[in-house]
Chains A and B, each alone.
Chain A
Amino acid sequence: GLEETICSARVTDNLDDPSNADVYKPQLGYISILNSYDLPILRFLRLSALRGSIRQNAMVLPQWNANANAVLYVTDGEAELQVVNDNGDRVFDGQVSQGQLIAIPQGFSVVKRATSDHFRWVEFKTNANAQINTLAGRTSVLRGLPLEVITNGFQISLEEARKVKFNTLETTLTYSSGPVSHGRPR
């Protein structure tokens, strides 16, 4: 029985093929995810991976890993990153470039914006089916909240709450020009 399962199990998959992209915007780039649905053996490892390749000024909307830690390794280019921890503190605010590694723990929110022609990275996640939740965008947590929760939670008007909730139609990648980073973490 083993030769029919473990020995013949597929253990490789290529993430550098944009035709397999899960998120794709011609002007901004693509993101491919490799989880246990794509590569079943990952279920045993309880690990998954993500490959991103975005152009200059493309921004990955702020998001957090709901059920995994992530380790991000830069393979090409540079990007500005901001990372926020459970206390609401910005624990990283700066550039990451080729060859560098940064760990993003579960629940920590992160935003990435490419500052070089192409920013490419691979992320390894400690869950076979890592789930992200986004703070902004059409499938975001703010979009899923009632307006009353937003108005009361943030003490903003109904009109402002509508803008917060509905203005961003993208789900993952958006365009963002100009500097957004202010140097050292607060």
Chain B
Amino acid sequence: QFPNECQLDQLNALEPSHVLKAEAGRIEVWDHHAPQLRCSGVAFVRYIIESKGLYLPSFFNTAKLSFVAKGNGLMGRVIPGCAETFQDSSVFQQGQGQEQGQQGQGQGQQGQGQGQSFRDMHQKVEHIRSGDTIASSPGVAQWFFNDGNEELVIVSVLDLASHQNQLDRNPRPFYLAGNNPQGQVWLQGREQQPQKNLLNGFTPEIISKAFKIDVSTAQQLQNNQDNRGNIVRVKGPFGVIRPPLRSQRPQQEEEESVGN
């Protein structure tokens, strides 16, 4: 903090100062240099995700606490070291699964061993709804998807003064996918540059070696021609494995719990 940063003689209600438009929504950023936010050491962001909009995976340089102000959807995180505990049902049909497993092997899922077959496996995905408060650690990738019909509005505070922020007092999102043609307009010196995803910074050769894929696929991962922004529209089904919604629990299960 600079000296006298909290010498505030007047407070005022703040509106967002920057809007990042994207294919399926927008991200509104409050100016974190505003005196009262600077004194508080926080930045504030509002995500407005349209129906079928996917906010692409990103992580930040500091702790973040979010609140779902409106709508409902899905939220996924990828925490280092956690297993992909969400697997699709074909894994659980053991006998049948075995046959499929062999078959599965043939479909290029080499090296899975044990002959298991599956459509997908990934880390935990949760339903989020209005009122939910979501904690995010620095460096942990997170994505949101609006599977409802109304807008999904999420507001977040980023604690720039936290000791967990090892960088400067600026909110710095790192995107794993996508491309933001407008750039990090809230950062001085970045207004004119598009913000690309992390893979874009590596040479395609490195990416192809790291992922063991061909160079053309590696180049696709760099989203060079992509102008959709950080919230993209999902066309067609979004077949992410998800638990049933609380209200969808089987009737019998609920009666049992009442009996107890």
Contacts and interface: CB of A to CB of B under 8 A. Distances in A.
Interface of A: 46, 59, 61-62, 64-69, 82-91, 93, 105-107, 109, 111, 126-127, 131-137, 139, 141-150, 152-156, 159-160, 162-164, 166-169, 174, 176, 178-182, 186
Interface in B31-81: 54, 56-57, 59-61, 76, 78-81
A85 B199 contact: no
Most buried by A among B197, B199, B211: B211
B198 A88 contact: yes
Contacts of A67: 137-139, 164, 166
Given A139-B81, A141-B78, A143-B84, A107 B139 contact: yes
Given A163-B211, A168-B210, A85 B201 contact: yes
A57 B29 CA distance: 44
A179 B205 CA distance: 8
Interface stretch (B8-16, B148-156, B171-179): B171-179
A107 B172 contact: yes
B61 A86 contact: yes
A126 B167 CA distance: 11
A150 to B, nearest CB: 8
Given A144-B141, A145-B143, A146-B122, 5 more contacts: A82-B201, A89-B196, A109-B198, A136-B211, A146-B241
Nearest to B230: A153
